[in-house]
Structure 1
Amino acid sequence: MRHSLRIDAVLVQAVIAGALSFAHLHDLAAAAGQTGWKAWAYPVSVDLLLVAAWRRLRNDGPSRLAWCWFLIALVASLGANVATAGLLDVAHPPAWLRVGIAGWPALAFLGGTLLAHSPAEPQPHPEPVDDLPAEPVTTHESATAAVETPEPAPALPAATPEPVAVSAPAPLVAHARKVADAHRAATGNPIDTDTLRTRLGVPAPMAEAIAAQLT
């Protein structure tokens, strides 16, 4: 199966832009006194730092560390393009340019180390919405207890105790009859229950039972 070669205009543009930026960085480093292989190492270092910062932004999300080193590498690349456009005399570079080019390796090493070994910054979580009404949470235990707990049975009215029949012995009844006859002879009235209870010294139920037998 034959594969057709499709040329991507964006990819071609990226290759051209990268090659020009690479050449400008090389020319600026060579003008600042970095000759030989050292002049070629500077554009590689700048591009690698730019790619590392962009990869950190793409994989771990936006962070101050990644954005800081991405902008540093971008300024270094754009600065080389602008400097070689005739704004600086590359034949006689200023002292600050020589110092910047000489200090770039240490700066690039620091940025690459921080991008490779610094932990990712935590992303902020959205705050919970408080407008929704809170629904009661029913657990399995509470639902089971609500189903299995029986309702209390209604209380029954207290039963009224039936009166207990009191029987008086015959000798006591005979003695009470004599006391009643003596009371009638003395007062002319039949003896009442309270007087009979007092004369005989018996409880009220016993006195009532005896009085019932005297009638």
Structure 2
Amino acid sequence: MTRPALRVDAVLVQAVIAGALSFAHLHDLAAAAGQAGWKAWAYPVSVDLLLVAAWRRLRSDGPSRLAWSWFVIALFASLGANIATAGFLDLANPPALLRLGIAGWPALAFLGGTLLAHSNGHPAPHPPAPTAPEPAPHTEPDRMPEPKPDAAPVTPSEDAPALPAAAPAPTVPAVLIEHARKVADDHQARTGTPIDTDTLRARLGVPPQLADAIAAQLA
């Protein structure tokens, strides 16, 4: 199997030439603003890297305000250097505004690169809104069957439990009757009225049922 021959792409060659010229213009502009040695070469690298990072962010995550903003800033810096070195500025005596822009570019490029590298490109999707429950189908309430006119009346069942019988009256000893009679006579002699059941129960200290039985015997 033969490998395809290496072909020279005209577009790639044009991109390399344009990039080299832009790189050189940025270097010359930085050198004119007082950045000598390796510092002058670092400026075009910083501008081109920011431009590439913004473009890759646009290609991978889609259009966003952040990526477009930093792409325009890097493109403006590259185009501005190309125009400034074309004779529009006196590079022998650069203006103070140019020196200010060159001095502040490293911090600006660092901020842009950090935001492009570490910001979330895909916002978290919002959870779907809860749907309202479907209404239950309308059903008519069950109707009780109407009794027939000739139906026999319902009688209580013979198996129904009978009510408990009343407790028998307690047996009162004769001795207690005699003692109660003395207490009743003493009460009537002192007050002039017959003794009532509550007073009798309190004087004898007996339960209510026994006091009722005694009062019945004294009547």
TM-score (structure 1 length as normaliser): 0.57
Contact in 2 for aligned 1:63/1:121 (Cα 8 Å): no
Residue identity matched to 1:42 = Y
What secondary structure sits across from 1:51 in the alignment? Answer: helix
Tell me the residue number matched to 1:5.
Answer: 6
Contact in 2 for aligned 1:32/1:97 (Cα 8 Å): yes
Structure 2 CA distance for aligned equivalents of residues 35 and 43 of structure 1: 13
Structure 2 CA distance for aligned equivalents of residues 61 and 2 of structure 1: 36
1:75 aligns with 2:76: yes
CA RMSD, Structure 1 to Structure 2 (Å) = 3.2
1:94 aligns with 2:95: yes
What is the CA-CA distance between 1:120 and the residue it aligns to? 1.3
What is the CA-CA distance between 1:3 and the residue it aligns to? 3.9
Tell me the residue number matched to 1:104.
Answer: 105
Alignment of 1:133-152 (within 5 A): none
Tell me the residue number matched to 2:30.
Answer: 29
Tell me the residue number matched to 2:48.
Answer: 47
CA pair 123-12 structure 1, distance change in 2 beyond 3 A = farther
Structure 1 CA distance for aligned equivalents of residues 114 and 103 of structure 2: 19
Query: What residue ranges of structure 1 are gaps of 5+ in the alignment?
Result: 126-136, 138-157, 162-215
Alignment of 1:61-210 (within 5 A): 61-122=62-123
Residue identity matched to 2:29 = L
TM-score (structure 2 length as normaliser): 0.56
What is the CA-CA distance between 1:105 and the residue it aligns to? 0.3
Residue identity matched to 1:54 = W
Q: Which has the higher helix share?
A: 1
Structure 1 CA distance for aligned equivalents of residues 122 and 64 of structure 2: 7
Contact in 2 for aligned 1:53/1:66 (Cα 8 Å): yes
Tell me the residue number matched to 1:201.
Answer: none
What is the CA-CA distance between 1:25 and the residue it aligns to? 0.2
Structure 2 CA distance for aligned equivalents of residues 8 and 102 of structure 1: 38
What secondary structure sits across from 1:93 in the alignment? Answer: coil
Count, aligned residues: 144
Residue identity matched to 1:65 = L
Structure 2 CA distance for aligned equivalents of residues 74 and 39 of structure 1: 18
Residue identity matched to 1:110 = L
